[in-house]
Amino acid sequence: MSKMNSQTSYGVVGNPNEEKRVIEKARSLLNWLTERNFDKIKDEIVQTIIRASPSAFVIKSLVCFILDMAMVDSTANVLFARLSVHLFQSLPPFPSADRHGEITTFERLFLCKCRMELEHSSPETDRHAPLVYVDESDCWRFIKTVRLLAEIFKNRMLSQTTRQSIIQVLMNPIFPPERNTDSMNCFLSFVGVLADFKFCDENFKQLVQNSRAVELESSYNEQVTLRKEAEDALARNEGELDLMKRLLESYKEDKCKLHLHAQGLEQEYQNESKLRKETECALAIERESIAKVRLRLETLENEHNNLRLKAEELESNYTDELILRKESEVSLDKERNELEAMTQVFETCKIEQENLTSQVRTWLDKYDQELSVRKETEDSLSRQKEELEIVKGLLEAYNQEADAMREERDSALQTVQELTRKHLEERQPPPSFYCPITQEVMKDPHFAADGFTYEAEAIKKWFSTGHETSPMTNLQLPHRNLVPNRALRSAIQDLI
């Protein structure tokens, strides 16, 4: 039940495409890992794997990427060690890929991978190999794996159980064969660096002591083999000394023969030197003639190049002239066509000009007729203007007489008004003839609903301004109907 619950809680990535996408993203993030962006890349890797519900395949791929990049770049061991420690603590447990479906962790897979790297990269003995033969690729992969584990081991964030697991991983392949002394020395140097961390683990101290004992044993065996080799070499040297003495005696005999042969060779050398000097003189003469021929060839080549350049220039000028000639011929054809069109237009213009001259003549005849008619109309207009001036003079005289008559009429009206005013002043009308609103004698008296008589225009104006009360009593009127007061009107007219 616990296994089933763990599988349902964490889940397994079943989609290969999704697993491939997560693996590619993790690889790209690891490629960008540096000291500056360490926290950001670490968080993105953790979030990417947690979102995708980590599976054993994805985690194993991530472990392989970290180890491969640590093997390629030895300077990045510290960064990958820090990243591995953070992933130990950040990634949750997940189901393993075996049939039992047990729960495993990133830490367990990482340490298993490191153990496998140490076992496969640990140098193996070869009976037919030399005494100090070492496979450099395996040796360096072995050393870089140890260095990565050392960087992880010294991290303060690790628990004691994790450190013990690392020590157990290192204890299995820590004893390389005796003959691989170079790989052993390199490995012990890194183990010595690990020992300098001052771990309190007794197993690790025992590991260091065993490694040093192995180193001393390998150095002792090497000294024994070197001593045996030296004794064998001494025995061989004694036999070689007797052989050298015999060779020295034969060498003395051969020396006399060689001396005679050397004298003969010296004679031949002198003869050869004379021939050589003669051939050198002839060769110098030949060289001078060759140099002269070369100079002449160079001058001929320069002339040939100049002539070729001139020919190319003339050819280009000829092609330009051909192009210009073709263009001029085309333009000449165009101008000829335009000239023919112009001649046709000119002929049509001549015909149109003849038609226009005939039309001009007809228009001139019409113009002469119009001139004669215009002169007659101007004469008649001048006569009419004279008549209009006479009429204007008569109208001005008539207007003056009318103005004088208007002045006489106005003076007569003024006298009549003065006489009426005097007559009215002599006859005062009664108060009932006056309008209560205008205080003037009424011309068109009308009864209102309040019983008083008003001038018709004054009371209508009173009502139009929004008043609904009596002008005399200031009381509300029952209606605004008006009735003419004919008796009062006739009395006012008789008085006037």
| Helix (H), strand (E), coil (C) string for the chain | CHHHHHHHHHCCCCCHHHHHHHHHHHHHHHHCCCCCCHHHHHHHHHHHHHHCCCCHHHHHHHHHHHHHHHHHCHHHHHHHHHHHHHHHHHCCCEECCCCCCCEECHHHHHHHHHHHHHHHHCCCCCCCCCCCCCCHHHHHHHHHHHHHHHHHHCCCCCCHHHHHHHHHHHHCCCCCCCCCHHHHHHHHHHHHHHHCCCCCCHHHHHHHHHHHHHHHHHHHHHHHHHHHHHHHHHHHHHHHHHHHHHHHHHHHHHHHHHHHHHHHHHHHHHHHHHHHHHHHHHHHHHHHHHHHHHHHHHHHHHHHHHHHHHHHHHHHHHHHHHHHHHHHHHHHHHHHHHHHHHHHHHHHHHHHHHHHHHHHHHHHHHHHHHHHHHHHHHHHHHHHHHHHHHHHHHHHHHHHHHHHHHHHHHHHHHHHHHHHHHHHHHCCCCHHHECCCCCCECCCEEECCCCCEEEHHHHHHHHHCCCCECCCCCCECCCCCCEECHHHHHHHHHHC
Round the average pLDDT of the chain to a whole number and report it.
Answer: 77
Does residue 162 register a pLDDT over 60? Answer: yes
Q: Which pLDDT score, from 0 to 100, does residue 139 have?
A: 64
Q: Which pLDDT score, from 0 to 100, does residue 455 have?
A: 92
Q: How far apart are the C-alpha atoms of 378 and 386, rounded to whole Å?
A: 12
**What residues does CATH 1.25.40.180 cover in the chain?**
16-123+134-200
> What is the CATH T-level fold of the domain 16-123+134-200, as seen in this structure?
1.25.40
Q: Which pLDDT score, from 0 to 100, does residue 4 have?
A: 35
Does residue 200 register a pLDDT over 50? Answer: no
Region 427-495: CATH code: 3.30.40.10
State the average pLDDT over residues 61-75: 81
State the average pLDDT over residues 192-217: 52
Does residue 467 register a pLDDT over 50? Answer: yes
Strand order in the sheet with 453-455: 453-455, 445-447, 483-484
Q: Which pLDDT score, from 0 to 100, does residue 445 have?
A: 92
Does residue 112 register a pLDDT over 50? Answer: yes
Pairwise pLDDT comparison (353 vs 146), residue with the higher score: 353
State the average pLDDT over residues 31-35: 85
Pairwise pLDDT comparison (306 vs 170), residue with the higher score: 306
Q: Which pLDDT band, with edges at 50, 70 and 90, does 259 fall under? A: confident
Greatest mean pLDDT range, 114-118, 322-326, 394-398: 322-326
pTM over 0.85: no
Does residue 436 register a pLDDT over 80? Answer: yes
Q: Which pLDDT band, with edges at 50, 70 and 90, does 441 fall under? A: confident
Pairwise pLDDT comparison (291 vs 179), residue with the higher score: 291
Does residue 160 register a pLDDT over 70? Answer: no
Share of the chain above pLDDT 70, in %: 77
- How many CA atoms does the CB half-sphere of 35 hold within 13 Å? 4
Share of the chain above pLDDT 90, in %: 3
Q: Which pLDDT band, with edges at 50, 70 and 90, does 195 fall under? A: very low
Q: Which pLDDT score, from 0 to 100, does residue 169 have?
A: 67
Does residue 294 register a pLDDT over 50? Answer: yes
Q: How far apart are the C-alpha atoms of 222 and 185, rounded to whole Å?
A: 13
Q: Which pLDDT score, from 0 to 100, does residue 125 have?
A: 41
